[in-house]
Structure 1
Amino acid sequence: MSAQETVALVLAQAPVPPQDPGGQGEDFGKSSPLGLVLLIVFAIAVVFLIRSMTKHLKKLPVVFDEEKANAAAPAHVKRAEAEAAKRAEDSEATETPEPEETSSKPSQAKTD
């Protein structure tokens, strides 16, 4: 028998079916009571999350009007915004521009 005949004979043979066909034994497709408990727990968690989300969404205004939001803001928020604006104005006023180097000669660095 030549090598080609041996290869053809091996490839032509049908594979032997395994004793356990991929974990599909008698318990395949069945779930345990633990799976049911987990499913119920997840369903309860989803119900509570939906309730919480609807409560938070009811607190939001229908239209986001900036004037109404500023009027409803607490005093300490308004004070903080005013102080931040004042600091920004002060920093712009005290900022001095650094003189730019107008030399046309490139600087030469020492190399060792």
Structure 2
Amino acid sequence: MWLSAVVLLADEQPANTGPDFGKASPFGLLVVVLLLIGTFALVWSMNRHLKRLPESFDPEHPEPDQAVDEGTVEVEVEPGTSQPDQPKTPPQESSG
């Protein structure tokens, strides 16, 4: 194993290389530059949009929202009284 590694490292020119080995084409450079420009534009646009967001999304006047939420909170029922009206759902058919 060591012998094969030494032979590969001592070889002056790797096999299967032509005169254009290791050279990038101008088209490849153009693609890389276009990708970098696109990435820069997306980051710049995202930063502009993030600066426009408010510090907090909490409403200034939460009273209307709280009034709606009060209807969704479970109501405790005292012992000995009937349950509050629950919406009736059709019975589920068993699958199988």
Give the TM-score normalised by structure 1: 0.45
* Aligned with residue 77 of structure 2, among 93, 101, 112: 93
The one of 35, 38, 42 aligned to 2:35: 38
Secondary structure of the 2:43 match is helix
* Separation of aligned partners in 1, 2:29 and 2:79: 72
Residue 66 of structure 2 corresponds to 78
Larger Rg: 1
Once residues 24 and 59 of structure 2 are traced to their aligned partners in structure 1, the CA distance between those partners, rounded to angstroms, is 62
- Of Structure 1 and Structure 2, which has the larger fraction of its residues in helix? 1
**Secondary structure of 2:71's match?**
helix
Q: Distance in 2 between matches of 1:84 and 1:53?
A: 33
Could you list the runs of 4 or more consecutive aligned residues of structure 1 that deviate by over 3 angstroms after TM superposition?
A: 28-31
How much does 1:39 deviate?
A: 0.9
Distance 1:84 1:46, change over 3 A: same
Cα distance between partner residues in 2 of 1:14 and 1:25: 21
Map 1:1-112 to 2 at 5 A. Answer: 11=3, 14-15=7-8, 17-20=14-17, 25-28=21-24, 31-56=28-53, 59-61=54-56, 72-73=61-62, 75=64, 77-85=65-73, 88-89=74-75, 92-93=76-77
TM-fit CA distance, 1:19:
3.0
Q: How well do the aligned residues superpose, as a CA RMSD in angstroms?
A: 3.6
| Alpha-carbon offset, residue 14 of structure 1 | 2.1
What's the secondary structure of 1:37's corresponding residue?
helix
Decide whether aligned partners of structure 1 residues 83 and 25 sit closer, same or farther in structure 2, where only a CA change above 3 A counts.
Answer: same
SS of 2:41's equivalent in the other structure is helix
- Stretches of structure 2 lacking an aligned partner (at least 5 in a row): 81-96
